[in-house]
Amino acid sequence: MRGNRTRLVLWALCASLAAACGGGGTGARDRDARAAGGDTGTDAGGTIADGGRETAGGHDGGSGDDGAGADLRDVGVDDSARDESDTEDTAAPLPDALGADTPVMPAPKPNVVVILADDLGFADLGVQGSPDIPTPHIDSIAAAGVRFTRGYVSGPYCSPTRAALLTGRYQTRFGHEFNEGRMSNRPIFGLPVGEITFAHRMKALGYATAVVGKWHLGYEDKFRPTRRGFDEFYGTLGNTPFFNPEIVDSRVGQQPRKIDDPKFYTTFAFADRAIDIIEQRKAQPFFLYLAFNAVHAPNQAPAEYLNRFNNITNDRRRSYAAMTAALDDAVGRVLAKLRAEGLEERTLIFFLSDNGGPMTRWSPNGSSNRPLRGQKGDVWEGGIHVPFFVQWKGRLPAGMIFDRPVSQIDILPTAIAAAGGQPAPDWKLDGVNLLPFIGGQETGEPHDMLFWRFGTQRAVIDSPWKLVRGFDDSGSQGDVQPPLAQTTPWQLYNLTDDPSEKRDVAATQSARARALETAWTAWDKDNVPPAWIP
């Protein structure tokens, strides 16, 4: 009897994973379908790849039929309206293959945790090659899961990246191209209320939703997290000091309150609340968006962390190292809570930074993006190419290197698929479900191309080629606002041969450069003007 029960559990697991690989994904060369608002699904017909250290490559893509999953076409922004079917704690339905009289328990829906660092340098984690800042806990996510060595964000600074992450769409589709900039923009600055968020999508699948940390998607009441699909919010509305911040705790109210406790440190407080949410929500699937303000300026760290790095003589680098170590310990505590509750194999975890590190502009913090060119605020690699990992123990291969370009806009459709959902065409997602690409059911590129528009800067990647009109770093422009930044002419780089963008080959590859410029122009036709100018 025990053997039969084991086989039933294995069948449920395999069927659930097959649905995840099929839901919400797009094969290579489906750009036209995505531009029309649809995502082409893939019938995976199997489980996600087994563990072991692998490198995923390949260039021949394909698309298939939509996989099984919940139809979310009617999801709306009314958080109070929930159908009874939305609360079922199961993944996609299983096929009736064991007979009508055979009881089969569907595999539970995974929890989803998205951990976002702020202004983290590309080279500033142990797994990324940092020689002076050990980060064993963050590194463990890559070791136990998948490391995206071509992981990108669609915006080179704070708010636009968050807007795209929480919608699965390029932020330029709805005018969220910039931070707020001037104070006079605050009344209009925010993720447009017509955009349905990650939290709304997950609530429609029966998830509890919470955001902890830095919001930076609007200050007015209509833009705040509990109006945007999140059940609760603990954090700051924008950038903040680490000590004595103004915190919103939706459990007690919606207004920020000053924290006078001298021992309060945002990085640790955010981890504390995340752990408490896991404790309270562990009996049902939950979506936790944990957006640390670390390691954004101001450079502030507890004395015991500063003392760890007395060997670093540069004061800014030393305080940055201390903030990064505190961030790593905070992430480690959240991971330990999931482990202690037996939730590791039921939790899909993403870790990434919102943009590259600011080394000389945009509030420099002592970060390093080596060997990449550029920094925060640039569409050079140093501004948009970030540390990016995903872990789902027992479901995704451990220690895998995935070397094809992916973006933070892929997180939403990947999570929806893992939860048994299926995006509808009218969602108009730009992101894709990464599960079939990680698992090998899809062997092509997840994206035909990736695109950027940031004020006067532009870029398009058609791997391995990148056409870019980037920030002119030959002079000393300083923190010029994006609409006024002086840029280089269009330049072309082969990122496989030249990841540091040092050898422009546009002159010898002129036809390719023109074709990519044409592709960028066609993509930009579906964008809208910025909703505010910083």
d(CA 125, CA 351): 12
**Three-class SS of residue 234?**
strand
The residue annotated as part of the active site, out of 21, 158, 200, 447, is: 158
β partners of residue 447:
none
The burial of 164, by beta-carbon neighbours within 10 Å (0-12 exposed, 13-18 middle, 19 or more buried), is given as buried
Show the CA angle centred on residue 41, arms to residues 38 and 42, nearest 5°: 160
Q: How does strand 55-56 pair with strand 246-249? A: unpaired
d(CA 413, CA 407): 11
* Token output for 94: 């299983």
* Token output for 250: 């939706």
Nearest one of 462, 526, 438, 421 to 39, comparing CA atoms: 421
Nearest one of 307, 300, 270 to 366, comparing CA atoms: 300
**Catalytic: 216?**
yes
Nearest one of 373, 377, 376, 384 to 504, comparing CA atoms: 373
Tell me if 80 sits within 8 A of 226, measured CB to CB. no
The residue annotated as part of the active site, out of 216, 296, 385, 447, is: 216
* Token output for 445: 């590129």
Report which residue type is found at 135.
Answer: T
What distances in angstroms separate CA 33 from CA 30, 38, 68, 375, 483, one per listed residue?
A: 5, 5, 19, 33, 31
**What are the residue numbers of the active site?**
158, 216
